[in-house]
Structure 1
Amino acid sequence: MTEQAAQSLTPKRASDSRTVLTDIVFPSDTNHLQTLFGGVVMEYMDKVAAISAMRHSRTSVVTVSTDSIDFVAPIRVGEVIIVESFVSWTHRTSIEVYVKADTENLKTGERETAVTAFFVFVSLGEDGKPAAVPGVIPETDEEVTLYETGEERYLQRRKRMDDRKNKGH
């Protein structure tokens, strides 16, 4: 292994992958209830999560799974959406990214979590094949909690994918 390859696999702090996107919600982004379309939120989340995964791996990545996209509060016209992500756990070639979308009322300053999810990516080498990724060093309480439960989520995903393969889907 070259020195550069070995260096790229040195574990990295979760905070090094932290990515934030902030945008204002306009009427063209909303449904008939004047709340942000779920698909728009998911697009923001996927982009931010991909940036986190690439910051962590320093490779190209592809989305392979989204887990537990929970819409817990509406995001309304005129509010701000703040989408934040960081790498929460890694396996050999896969990168789990925790993503949270908050809403902010600009008049009151009140913030509320609107959506949470886990996105999983596979790192790709120059040859387009899965490539090894560095481990994660969690530091905050939130990062530690997500890291400690990462393997369990990974095993649940594997089981779900294996079950799907065995059923021919």
Structure 2
Amino acid sequence: MEYQILIAGFGGQGVLSLGKILCSAGMNDDYNVTFYPSYGAEVRGGTCHAGVVIADTPIASPLVNKADALIMLNEPSLKRFLPRVKPNGLVIYNSTLVPHPPEFNGTYDVQRIPATDIANDMNLPRASNMVTIGFFFKFFGLIQTKTFLKDCEKHFFKLSPEMHEQNKAAFFKGYEYEPKHCKR
């Protein structure tokens, strides 16, 4: 089994942090993992994406060529990377920042979540990435939720205990969000 995930958004949205935490959690659940970050020279505000491969066998390449899942945090990323998802693959996007989604033609399992709106309602405007990844975990069964949250704690607690609690709350807001199936 090999599962490829592509996460993309603007620099500063926590794309690379999500990829690193997913990889760490995958290793802690005894999977082979790779993490392949890519970002423009601008870093904050520029485009960035992270490829994550999780497998129970050795991984031949860290590149995500045909993703099983896309986690898209903004519209330019969704339009750019949609061709790289497998047929019937999972596409999750932040509908707050994707006001004009492309036509999906029923070829993907498309789920949308207003992650930025939810994060703003929590007074945590920088936590839309955690809202989105929490929502992703409704559909993703490889890594245990508790393992992912433990790795989030390692990542965020060292920055501040308050930041860890805020990110954990944002994760659960996303996890609890009721999906609205979106076949356009």
> Larger % of strand: which?
1
TM-score above 0.5, yes or no: no
> Larger % of helix: which?
2
- TM-score, normalising length: structure 1: 0.29
- TM-score, normalising length: structure 2: 0.27
Larger radius of gyration: 1
